[in-house]
Amino acid sequence: MTHSWQITTVDDAARARIAVARLVAAHGVSTVERTRLVTALSARLRQALVKGGCWVMTLRSTPPSDTGTPGRITVALGAQANGAGSRPGWQASVDVEEPGSVDVTARVPRDRKTFADALLSADEDTSRVLDKLAEQEQLVSFHREELHQTNQGVLALHAELDAAGRVQRELFAAERKARTEAESARRRLTFLADASAALTASLNHEEILRRLHELLVPAYARGVDVWLFADDDTRKPSPQPAAAAAAARTGRPQYAADHPGGMPGVDDLPPSALHPDVPLLCVPLLTRHAPLGVVTLRPPEDRWSPDDAVMLVELARRAGVAIDHAQRFEHNRDIAETLQRALLTELPTTAGLSLAARYLPATHGLNIGGDWYDAFRQPDGGLVAVVGDVTGHGLRAAVMMSQLRTALRAYAVDGGSPGQLLTRLHVFLHHLQPDLYATAVIARFHPDEPTVTWAAAGHPPPVLRTPDGGVRVLDAKPGAMLGIPLHQEIRDHTADLPPGSTLALYTDGLVERRTQGIDPGIRRLAEALGAQRAADLDLDLEGAADRMLDPLLRDSQRDDDVCLLLCHIGGPATGPLPGGSGAPPVPGRPGA
C-alpha cells in the first residue's frame, strides 16, 4: 500500500507526520523505533519547509507474510520535480510484525482543534522514550555504583592477591632454602654413615688412615695430615702446627687462619707459622681415655661452612675410635699369635710312625682359639697323640687349653691309658674351671703292639684307613664332655692297626656345618681319607693332609677353629719312617 502527500506548508508537514506516526503505531512498532522514525522525519520536514517549494512524501507499507517474514513501512521525502514525480531524497524504513492497517487519509484531522491535539499528542511517544531513558539512567547509575563497588572489591582482591603472591613467593623461597639445607644435611649424614662404615670395616690402623684420606680428599679437604702420638715413640717427630699442639693439649678442635671461622665448638687461633697462607682445622682423635692423635685438614676452597665443620669434627671422633679399636686389636693379635706359636710345639719323630698336623684358627676375631693337638712319648716307649677343643675362643680359651695340655703331659708321665688320662683331665677341669668345658680324643701307639688304644670325651670319633683303602669310623661310645658336673670313668677302646694304616684325629670345626650337622662332614672326611693313595701316605703325609683339607674347607665359613692330626703306620715296602714335621704349623695357613 502506498500513500503520497504534497507538502508546501506547515499544516501539510504536520498532517504527514501524524499519518506516519499513526501508521507505525497501528502496525505495533515499538515506541523507541517509532519515536526514532518520527523524529528523523520531523527533522527532514523542517529542513524542507525552510528550503521552501513543493515536496512530496511517500508512505509505502508491506504487511508481514504468513511464513513469518516481517513486513516493512518505508517513508521517502523528496522535492517535487516539474513533472508528476519527485526527485530522490531522504528515505527511512522500519520492520513491522503485526498486519494492522489504517486509512491514513481518512484519519488525518482537518479541523484546527483536533489537528492540534493530534500533533501535540505525537510527543507522547517522546515522553515515553524519555521515561524509559530516565529508567535506563537510573539503572545505569545503579549499575555504575555496583561497578564502582565491584571495582573497589577487585582492587582490594588484587591487593590481596599481590600480598598472597608475595607471601607465596617468600614461602617458595623459604621452601627451596629448607629443601636445599635438608638435602645438604642428608648428604652429610649419608657421607658420615658411609664413612663410618668404611672406617670401622678394617682392624688395621694404617688402612683406616688411608681410607680417611680417600674419603675426605678432595670433597671436604685439600689435604689431610694425621699425627699419631704412638708413632712418635718409634721415630723422630715431625714439626706440627701450633693449632695441632693446642688441640692435643686441650682436646678441643682448633681453627688457625687470618679470619674467624665461625664454627660451633671450634676455637679460633692466629694463622699457623708453618702454613701462614692456608687455613687449618686441627681436630683431636679422641678415645675414652685420652687423645691418641690429631688430624689436620686444609679446606678445599677458602673455608668450610659451619655444618661441614660439625660433620668433620664428628667424623674425626669416629675415626679416633676406629683407630683405637684397630690398635688394640693389633696389640691383642700380636699377643695371641705369640702365644699360639708357643703352644704349637714340634711333633716327635718315631720309627715307623709318621705324624702330620694342621691347625687353622677361625677367620673371625683373634687368630687364637681353644683347639689344640699334641703328641709326646710315655716312659714305656708308647706315643700319645691328642686332639682337643675347649669351648669358646680368645685368650681365655687358649689359656685353658694350655693348662689342659700341660696337665695331660704331666699325667701321662705316670703312665695310664687314654681313658684314664681323660678321666683325670675331667676331674682337673671341673675343679679348676667349673663353667668351662672341653672335648678331647687320645690315641696311644706302642711299637710292640699292632693296635691303637683310644678314648674320647664328647669329641668326634677317629677315622681309620686300613692298608687296603677301606675306611671306617671308630664310633664306639665316647665319654661325656670334660668338666661337666658329672662323675664318669671314660673307657678305652682298641682297634687293629696293621702297617700302612692311617688314623685321623680332628676337631668339629673341620666337619661340622650349621645347615648340615656333623655326620655328613664325617662321611666326607672318610671319603677324603680313603681317596688318598697308599704311596702318598707313606712318602708324603704332609701333602696328603693338605689335599684332604682343601675340599673339606671349600664350603666352610671358617667360624670355628680347625685341627687335623694324621697318624700313619709305615707300610712294609717303606720300612720304618722318621715321621713328623720338623716345626709346628703356623696359625692361619694349612701347613708349615
C-alpha 357: how far from chain center = 49
> Which cell is 68 given?
513469518
Q: What is the arithmetic mean of pLDDT over 329-356?
A: 79
Sheet holding 71-79, edge to edge: 2-7, 55-62, 71-79, 90-96
How many residues belong to the chain?
Answer: 592
Rounded distance, CA 589 to CA 369, Å? 15
CA distances from 164 to 1, 152, 155 (A): 71, 18, 14
Position 582 scores a pLDDT of 39
Nearest one of 319, 295, 367 to 205, comparing CA atoms: 319
pLDDT tens for 337-348 read: 677 667 677 888
Containing 494, the helix (H) or strand (E) segment is: strand 493-496
> Which cell is 545 given?
693332609
C-alpha 165: how far from chain center = 36
Position 117 scores a pLDDT of 63
Angle formed at CA 566 by CA 564 and CA 569, multiple of 5 degrees: 170
Among 128-137, 393-402, 518-527, the range with the most confident prediction by mean pLDDT is 518-527
Number of Cβ atoms within 10 Å of the Cβ of 39: 13
DSSP 182: H
DSSP 351: B
pLDDT tens for 220-264 read: 899 899 999 887 555 566 788 999 999 999 999 999 998 888 888
Position 235 scores a pLDDT of 57
> Which cell is 525 given?
672326611
Residue with cell 509505502: 60
> Which cell is 2 given?
502506498
> Which cell is 43 given?
527533522
Rounded distance, CA 522 to CA 526, Å? 6
Q: Which amino acid makes up residue 548?
A: M
Distance between terminal CA atoms of the chain?
Answer: 141
Contact 28, 97 (CB under 8 A): yes
Q: Confidence band (pLDDT; 50, 70, 90) for 116?
A: low
Residue 415 in 3-state DSSP?
coil
Handedness of CA 394, 397, 403, 409 (dihedral sign): negative
**Any bridge partners for residue 283, and if so which?**
295
Phi, psi values for residue 96, rounded to 5°: -125, 145
Percent over 90 (pLDDT), the chain: 39
Residue 590 has pLDDT above 50, yes or no: no
Position 236 scores a pLDDT of 60
> Which cell is 444 given?
696311644
Position 233 scores a pLDDT of 55
Instruction: Give 290-318 as a 3 state SS string.
Output: CCCEEEEEECCCCCCCHHHHHHHHHHHHH
Among 94-98, 132-136, 165-169, 420-424, the range with the most confident prediction by mean pLDDT is 420-424
Half-sphere exposure of 183 (CA within 13 A, CB side): 6
Contact 473, 522 (CB under 8 A): yes
Position 329 scores a pLDDT of 83
Contact 317, 251 (CB under 8 A): no
The pairing of beta strand 267-269 with beta strand 71-79: unpaired
Residue 584 has pLDDT above 70, yes or no: no
Percent over 70 (pLDDT), the chain: 86
Q: Confidence band (pLDDT; 50, 70, 90) for 16?
A: confident
Rounded distance, CA 489 to CA 426, Å? 9
Position 115 scores a pLDDT of 66
Residue with cell 645438604: 184
Containing 360, the helix (H) or strand (E) segment is: strand 353-360
CA distances from 14 to 56, 100, 119, 125, 424 (A): 13, 23, 7, 16, 157
Phi, psi values for residue 254, rounded to 5°: -125, 145
Nearest one of 122, 119, 121 to 109, comparing CA atoms: 119
**Counting beta carbons within 10 angstroms of the beta carbon of residue 193, is it exposed (0 to 12), middle (13 to 18) or buried (19 or more)?**
exposed
Nearest one of 480, 479, 473 to 518, comparing CA atoms: 473
The pairing of beta strand 293-298 with beta strand 280-285: antiparallel
Half-sphere exposure of 365 (CA within 13 A, CB side): 13
Q: What is the arithmetic mean of pLDDT over 373-390?
A: 92
Q: What is the arithmetic mean of pLDDT over 482-499?
A: 93
The pairing of beta strand 463-465 with beta strand 293-298: unpaired
Q: Confidence band (pLDDT; 50, 70, 90) for 366?
A: low
Comparison of pLDDT for 275 and 270, the residue scoring more: 270
Rounded distance, CA 439 to CA 403, Å? 14
Comparison of pLDDT for 583 and 269, the residue scoring more: 269
Contact 61, 27 (CB under 8 A): yes
Residue 45 has pLDDT above 80, yes or no: yes
Ramachandran category for residue 381: left, alpha or beta (phi over 0 → left; psi -120 to 50 → alpha): left
DSSP letters spanning 187-253: HHHHHHHHHHHHHHT---HHHHHHHHHHHHTTTT-SEEEEEEGGGGGTSPPPP--HHHHHHHHHSS-
Position 286 scores a pLDDT of 87
Residue 126 has pLDDT above 50, yes or no: yes
Angle formed at CA 433 by CA 438 and CA 443, multiple of 5 degrees: 30
Sheet holding 293-298, edge to edge: 223-228, 293-298, 280-285, 254-256, 267-269
Phi, psi values for residue 30, rounded to 5°: -65, 160
Rounded distance, CA 472 to CA 51, Å? 153
Average pLDDT, the chain: 84
Domains recognised in the chain with CATH numbers = 2-122 (no CATH), 202-338 (3.30.450.40), 344-569 (3.60.40.10)
DSSP H stretches of helix in 354-500? 395-413, 418-432
**Any bridge partners for residue 268, and if so which?**
255
